[in-house]
Amino acid sequence: MAADRFATIGVVGGGAFGAALALAAARAGRRVILWARDGEAVAAMRARREVPRLPGAILPEAVEPAAELTALAAAQALILAVPTQSLRPVCTSLAQALPSGLPAISAAKGIEQKSGLFTTQIIAELWPGAVPAILSGPSFAVDIARGLPTALTLAASEPVLAQKLAEVLSSSSLRIYHSNDPRGVEIGGAAKNVLAIAAGIAIGLGYGESARAALVARGFSELRRFGEAFGAQSETLMGLSGLGDVVLSCASAQSRNFAYGLALGQGSTPAEAAGGKLAEGAFTAAILAEMARARGIETPIAEAVAAIIAGKIGVREAVAGLLARPIRSEN
């Protein structure tokens, strides 16, 4: 049975999202090994069963915190809950410590800045013995941790594997759909972060809800053009990991990317806007715009966000430039 095959799940990354996914996997009946680099944090989780970055969350007995990568050898599948820009060294270490054949499910949303690689491509390059997959969709760590109803998409190039992983990780509060379109799922997760920054900027400038709605609609058109140029299925882009995640991230200050854009719109510099928190879209914007230009794809909103973050243009100037674009057909 599928449940027997994936009785133990390893979660790589002890941040809020990694811990939330560990809790979700435990609710689905899995034994979970939660690996974190910070040995002190692991010791605290073992002693008090609390998660430093997820206040109020209590780890059940089914979740075993670990600071040694070798502890993950007991897992039949891994969820890699580490930022995109940190995924490369993590995969290198995992390749050296673990056996071949393990499904490695990326839970990151971004494009590697230096290489232009998507997360499953990074896994394949650095850990050739792994079987890459991607888990994405509209979700906040605190909602998953609390067991609030959430739906995600899990995609792999092997449809049977994607289905089995979706089945064993789903529970009464977390519904996971499966897909054979990992690229589409990755593009939705990466591009929506850039759009969330743009939406935050619009609200921070005080431009109102009508402006946000227009920006999100036009930004989603950019996402679709970009995705289709890279082979994404249109159904995927219109699904949870595309449109669904755009709706969530562009409408809530809980989104780190939206909050980052909000701070930019209110006058913060890009360095100040981060506030010590990770906004994946800040790293993705420039490489996404560059990849789009290389394929002749128009992404004016992504271009504007990238220029703002690089300090090449101010937020009001960027918006004025978007509004001054030639009038054209919407389609």
Between CA 92 and CA 129 the distance in angstroms is 11
Between CA 294 and CA 239 the distance in angstroms is 26
Annotated active-site residue 192? The verdict is yes
Give the mean pLDDT of 279-308: 97
Give the mean pLDDT of 22-45: 94
Between CA 35 and CA 107 the distance in angstroms is 14
Between CA 210 and CA 301 the distance in angstroms is 16
Judge whether residue 40 has pLDDT over 90: no
Judge whether residue 3 has pLDDT over 50: no
Judge whether residue 288 has pLDDT over 90: yes
Between CA 290 and CA 296 the distance in angstroms is 10
Give the mean pLDDT of 182-204: 97
- pLDDT score recorded for residue 38: 87
Instruction: Provide the token pair at 203.
Output: 């609200």
- pLDDT score recorded for residue 124: 97
Considering the chain, what percentage of its residues have pLDDT values greater than 70?
Answer: 99
The mean predicted confidence, pLDDT, of the chain is 94
Q: Give tens-digit pLDDT for 130-182.
A: 999 999 999 999 999 999 999 999 999 999 999 999 999 999 999 999 999 99
Give the mean pLDDT of 244-251: 97
- pLDDT score recorded for residue 278: 84
Distances from the Cα of 191 to the Cαs of 182, 187, 299, in angstroms? 14, 6, 11
- pLDDT score recorded for residue 54: 86
List domains and CATH numbers for the chain: 2-180 (3.40.50.720), 189-323 (1.10.1040.10)
Instruction: Provide the token pair at 317.
Output: 């100037």
Considering the chain, what percentage of its residues have pLDDT values greater than 90?
Answer: 87
Judge whether residue 267 has pLDDT over 90: yes
Q: Which residue has the higher pLDDT, 44 or 262?
A: 262
Give the active site residue among 114, 164, 192, 312: 192
Instruction: Kindly tell me the number of DSSP H helices and DSSP E strands found in the chain.
Output: 16, 8
Instruction: Provide the token pair at 68.
Output: 């040694």
Distances from the Cα of 24 to the Cαs of 104, 152, 155, in angstroms? 17, 12, 18
Judge whether residue 2 has pLDDT over 70: no
Give the mean pLDDT of 31-42: 92
